[in-house]
A and B are shown apart, each in its own frame.
Chain A
């Protein structure tokens, strides 16, 4: 069955932040809160890099930026 749009968007965001901003999502489920905090922090870094409004939240502008074709090299050092 097709995924709900918001699930699809969240998966896109997590994949993007994992690939380009070093988000670690392989944590135990009990650390879910920690993941949420981490996503917010990484989103802030990404929004800052691209000159977007830094909210730590997944808004339309951020998703639009994540959908653009790009280089596979991370934006922050590994």
Chain B
């Protein structure tokens, strides 16, 4: 987390707020509810209270503004800059301005007012932008499931550094962003996509370009706002230019209509509830699915499962146990299991070597 230069903070713990105007994009009651919940994000973790007033000057004045609105920080139309807020202080201090030209919503379409308001209130209370991509105070917008929202630990640490701990008997905790070179890091799914490698873990996604040493970590929702966290398997169908993802018994395909579908439509028996890992061989057009200690092979040309499957993973790939994630690269198959990955040569049917799961990140 990062605090605003000079560490400005409110001198009192009981603050007032006022909603000056509302966006026509949402019902007034929904605007009020989104903003109330945004305040609760912070009041849940520090000893601050926020009381809504209808008239007069409040500590934090919230409004929807259009283009140049007289504070030296104009908006420029849809997208780009969504909102801004001022650090704690008198008059304009603490105030929050939303760009009226954005499409504000209470869901994943357009920009979610609750998410943006909660972020801006972080500034109103004294937080600057955090470089932690999983934090609420990261500068870029990313949709998060608002029903499952928990303030990330980075933000909790930041706001408690200013106002102290919550008065609750049990201190609240939040999710932490995984460290890229954590030796215990495992992945939910790994796949290639148009020359890049994508590593999924919870609500996070690492993007690795083979020619670039640095690895980017972002929230999955930054790239696919409607995609759920906790993707369990993924593969790229190079020929169809499709990216296929699995969670539970659901198949999702990026940019293709007619999805989600059920995994049983691929030919799995009803007893299969989820797929642990998948990869597709672009040369043979065969896709391999790993489920518990077995694997299936699917023919992308015939659109059906090959006969003779499932087979035991151990019979072909050796004693590696459950496979968490899999992908193919330069002719080799990489099977991820826990914090390790096994490099397998499909031609010699031999294990080449066992690596750390994070070896792709140059750790």
Contact = CB atoms under 8 A, between A and B. Distances in A.
Interface of A: 19-20, 49-53, 61, 65, 68-73, 75, 77-78
A51 B130 CA distance: 12
B75 A71 contact: no
Interface residues of B, number: 29
26 contacts: A49-B129, A49-B131, A50-B131, A53-B213, A53-B214, A61-B212, A68-B222, A69-B81, A70-B80, A70-B81, A70-B82, A70-B141, A71-B81, A71-B83, A71-B116, A71-B119, A71-B120, A71-B123, A72-B73, A72-B75, A72-B81, A72-B83, A72-B84, A73-B128, A73-B129, A77-B4
A77 B5 CA distance: 6
Given A51-B133, A51-B216, A71-B140, 11 more contacts: A49-B129, A69-B80, A69-B82, A70-B80, A70-B141, A71-B116, A71-B119, A72-B75, A73-B123, A73-B129, A77-B5
Given A52-B214, A61-B216, A70-B139, A75 B73 contact: no
Contacts of B4: 77
B47 to A, nearest CB: 25
List the 4 shortest-distance A-B pairs measured between CB atoms, nearest first. A72-B84, A77-B5, A72-B81, A69-B141
A75 B139 contact: yes
B85 interface: yes
Contacts of A53: 212-214
Contact of A69 (B85, B128, B140): B140
A61 B82 CA distance: 21
Interface string B205-230: 00000001110110000100000000
Interface in B73-115: 73, 75, 79-85, 111
Given A51-B133, A53-B212, A71 B82 contact: yes
A61 B212 CA distance: 10
- Most chain B beta carbons < 10 A, residue from A19, A52, A68, A69: A69
Contact of B139 (A20, A52, A61, A78): A20
B234 to A, nearest CB: 21
A77 B127 CA distance: 11
A5 to B, nearest CB: 18
Interface of B: 4-5, 73, 75, 79-85, 111, 116, 119-120, 123, 128-129, 131, 133, 139-141, 212-214, 216-217, 222
B256 to A, nearest CB: 23
Contacts of A75: 128-129, 139
A64 to B, nearest CB: 10
A45 to B, nearest CB: 11
A52 B73 contact: no
Contact of B214 (A20, A51, A73): A51
Contacts of B5: 77-78
Contacts of B82: 69-72
A41 to B, nearest CB: 18
Contact of A52 (B116, B119, B129, B216): B216
B73 A69 contact: no
Nearest to A47: B214
Nearest to A75: B129
